Structure 1
Amino acid sequence: MSRINGNGTPESQRDPAQTRRIPTPGKATVLALGKAFPSQLIPQECLVEGYFRDTKCDDLSIKEKLERLCKTTTVKTRYTVMSKEILEKYPELATEGTPTIRQRLEIANPAVVEMAKEASLACIKEWGRPAQDITHIVYVTSSEIRLPGGDLYLASQLGLRNDVGRVMLYFLGCYGGVTGLRVAKDIAENNPGSRVLLTTSETTILGFRPPNKERPYDLVGAALFGDGAAAVIIGANPVKGQEYPFMELNYAVQQFLPGTHTVIDGKLTEEGINFKLGRDLPQKIEDNIEGFCKKLMGKANLKDFNELFWAVHPGGPAILNRLESTLKLTNEKLECSRRALMDYGNASSNTIFYVMDYMRGELKTGREEWGLALAFGPGITFEGVLVRCL
């Protein structure tokens, strides 16, 4: 079902010099990264015709609006679990007003775990150690609902130890990946010798529905969001000659903006998840981002935004543009975020790891030592980590 995209390298082929800086003793580091995607890849230029065919919508004004949105998102390609076969099996998904939460979960629950498994396997392969050496798992998703949760299914399918420590992070939305980094960092640093598998997996199945003029955000979602999974392994004090960290998680902060809980408003209904997105979201982020970044930078006595590298969750081009303008960043600083948005769309909690994957290639030049990993989501919640290139 999933197409693996990992960077597994046999230990014998690894370059011992790839870790250029010495990790800080006791600080969590990123030891490996893997990705996975559904098999169906959709070019953005093909989305509108397919979406209107699948939903049997013939409203030309809505179609023209979606065509405009598809151009402004800057997305070029996205992966999706949704397929012709699924719609043939569940035609009620394309029928307005039909209760379909049971059907959506029948599709989403196994799909997100399958993608999470494939991303985790790619990550473990790159790491180079046995899966049995994983001591904790942090599982992040806003796309499945069941008891037991996907963390247990994933641990079982990966063959992890039955005493592996499990943490579920459900329904955080776009900032969930960075929250996962913060939680994994705390676990790794407070449990000597631990190795934490952090997985994120998302699908848009719960939010798929026919276009409707009364729900304009559905069109934004159709033009912007994608499916996929990612996994990283986090641990402190890497084993020399066995583990090859590329990034250190130095300091983490979460912050919410009081009085903004309705700006991103999501509700689970009989028809799936309904979202409403306030037009003032980019402005709220712009108004508060500088102080938030300075709080993180202060831990390393950093002053100049342009001396850092930036791994920013690309919620959309407007957010990236506002951040770039407000902090007066040079053009290349958000290049990895823009590439991830272009290649995968906004894949919710996963996307920060697609950015980080592009970034580790860019950081091989060794120019910047310090950077920020940032994400924003419901709350409005800011999640950030001061990171160090190794």
Structure 2
Amino acid sequence: MGEEGIGRGVTKKVNPGKATILSLGKAFPHQLVMQEYLVDGYFRDTNCDNPELKQKLARLCKTTTVKTRYVVMSEEILKKYPELAVEGAATVKQRLEICNKAVTQMAIEASQVCIKNWGRSLSDITHVVYVSSSEARLPGGDLYLSKGLGLNPIIQRTMLYFAGCSGGVAGLRVAKDIAENNPGSRVLLATSETTIIGFKPPSADRPYDLVGVALFGDGAGAMIIGSDPVSETETPLFELHTAAQEFLPDTEKKIDGRLTEEGISFKLARELPQIIEDNVEGFCDKLIDVVGLQNKDYNKLFWAVHPGGPAILNRMEKRLDLLPEKLNASRRALMDYGNASSNTIVYVLEYMIEEGLKIRKEGGGDPEWGLILAFGPGITFEGILARNMCA
């Protein structure tokens, strides 16, 4: 499986006691899927020749804006488990055999990259927060990740299961709380996801499945979070000032996911982008009021938004009257990796740092304050008011 990380940048003084992101890392399976070849490959692998469904998927693949993705699924897996492509087959056992192993491996690789970029010893990690909606087992992936990395058995672990697309920011909120309430602690946050848990053949009875095929990808992400960075050895990337979570009443069925004998089955309501558009401004205002932003000038902020899909990004951009470049990092992450669920916020933050370095090199300045946002089942809004320490 492939792996990548990000280096250090120029930083400023942090507020004592506030949690900071100290390092980022990511990892992917080796299978790279080009969007232009996805339709033929998917219908070949699932032995389906329905021309109407094929045309629909082709249209969806263009509208998602995704260009490339990484996936665990491969010809070898389908040869070993041909029942995964059979309609109605009870395959949750087989799926979990693949997923549990795959997400652990990717989480380990992403964490190793992150720790290397951090620059401190593995033994300095005091807590682990692990996020995944792609596995189910006891003990959970938090233990297998800790064991795979060789962490001390006294490490304190927290597991977040089935938080969906909001899982990465939810994990960041939990890691922030741990870091700020345990002086000297260093928290490893790892996320890992694979779409095999929900892979199914195309069916006219499940139109949303094709949206998932056109949009979602696999991978892992990792961060190190801690307060009061050691100046000689650590470089803070983002200071996590204030975190918030909110669910919208009576929206439980708008993002509906169920673990069945055939794996995970998802349904997304058509009105989901509209619901997010209608509520995002109020949620963001509660966070930015903390720093007293005047006249709701949202373009004075940076925006690290989980790219659930292009419709959500477009609706946010319109509602908040954002300049096109404000969501560049989110759009790039979606284009290069698809919606990789909880992992994607790591990829967005990496692109934000990369773009900030480019702006400063050209003599410009990027915003100091901004929001890290994600939306998931509930409908749940997760948000963190943050400072860009490299700005």
Q: Give the TM-score of the pair, scaled to structure 2.
A: 0.96
Q: Which residue does the alignment assign to 2:30?
A: 39
Q: Which residue of 1 aligns with 2:304?
A: 311
**Corresponding residue number in structure 2 for 1:368:** 367
SS, match of residue 25 in structure 1: coil
The offset of 1:302, in angstroms, is 1.5
Match of 2:137 in 1: 146
In structure 2, distance between residues paired with 1:299 and 1:26: 17
CA-CA distance at 1:250 after TM superposition: 0.5
Three-state SS of the structure 1 residue aligned to 2:286 is: helix
Aligned structure 1 segments of 4 or more residues deviating by more than 4 angstroms: none
SS of 2:114's equivalent? helix
* 2:322 is aligned with 1:329: yes
Q: 2:15 corresponds to which residue?
A: 24
Aligned residue number for residue 386 of structure 2: 387
Distance in 2 separating the partners of 1:32 and 1:53: 41
Letter in 2 for 1:181: L
> What is the identity, as a one-letter code, of the residue corresponding to 1:206?
I
In structure 2, the residue matched to 1:184 is 175
Q: CA deviation at 1:240?
A: 1.0
Instruction: Report deviation, 1:253.
Output: 0.3
Residues 87, 93 of structure 1: 8 Å contact kept: yes
* Residue 107 (1) aligns with residue 62 (2): no
| Deviation digits for residues 198-254 of structure 1 (CA, Å, limit 9, x no counterpart) | 000000011000000010111000000000000000000000110001110000000
Corresponding residue SS for 1:314: coil
In structure 2, C-alpha distance between the alignment counterparts of 1:114 and 1:167, rounded to whole Å: 18
TM-score by length of 1: 0.97
Of 287-296 and 356-365, the range deviating more from structure 2: 356-365
- Report whether the alignment pairs 1:257 with 2:256: no
CA distance in 2, matches of 1:197, 1:174: 19
The Cα of 1:351 is off from its aligned counterpart by 0.4
Q: Is the 8 A contact 1:363 1:389 kept in 2?
A: no
**3-state DSSP class of the match of 2:146?**
helix
Q: Cα deviation per residue 1:161-200 (whole Å; 9 max; x = unaligned)?
A: 1111100000000000000110000000000000000000
* Contact 1:92 1:100 (C-alpha < 8 Å) held by counterparts: yes
Superposed CA offset, 1:33-74 (max 9, x none): 000000000000010000000000010000000000000000
Residue 113 of structure 2 corresponds to which residue in structure 1?
A: 122
Report % sequence identity. Answer: 68
CA contact (8 A) 1:41 1:79 kept: yes
Q: 1:57 aligns with which of 45, 48, 59?
A: 48
1:90 paired residue number: 81
Instruction: Read off the aligned partner of 1:104 and give its amino acid letter.
Output: R
In structure 1, list runs of 5 or more residues that go unmatched.
none
Query: What's the offset of the Cα at 1:22?
Result: 0.6
Task: Give the match's secondary structure for 1:240.
Answer: coil
1:357 correspondence with 2:350: yes
Tell me which of 339, 342, 345 is aligned to 2:338.
Answer: 345
Q: Which amino acid aligns with 1:4?
A: E
Q: Which amino acid aligns with 1:277?
A: L
Deviation at 1:322, TM superposition (A): 0.2
Task: Supply the distance in 2 between the matched residues of 1:46 and 1:373 (Cα, whole angstroms).
Answer: 33
- 1:243 & 1:294 partners in 2: Cα distance? 32
Give the corresponding residue for 1:246.
Answer: 237
Deviation digits for residues 66-114 of structure 1 (CA, Å, limit 9, x no counterpart): 0000000000000000000000000000000110000000000010000
Distance 1:230 1:57 in 2: 34
Deviation at 1:361, TM superposition (A): 1.6
Separation in 1, partners of 2:32, 2:366: 35
**1:132 touches 1:159 (CA, 8 Å); kept in 2?**
no
The structure 2 residue matched to 1:77, chosen from 68, 74, 90, is 68
SS of the residue 1:147 aligns to = coil
Deviation at 1:371, TM superposition (A): 0.5
Cα offset, 1:367, TM superposition: 2.5
Say if 1:141 and 1:202, in contact at 8 Å, map to a contact too: yes
CA distance, structure 1, for counterparts of residue 91 and residue 289 of structure 2: 49
Gaps of 5+ in 2: none
Instruction: Return the alpha-carbon distance in structure 1 between the equivalents of residues 174 and 356 of structure 2.
Output: 25
Shift of 1:152: 0.4
What is the match of residue 6 of structure 1? 5
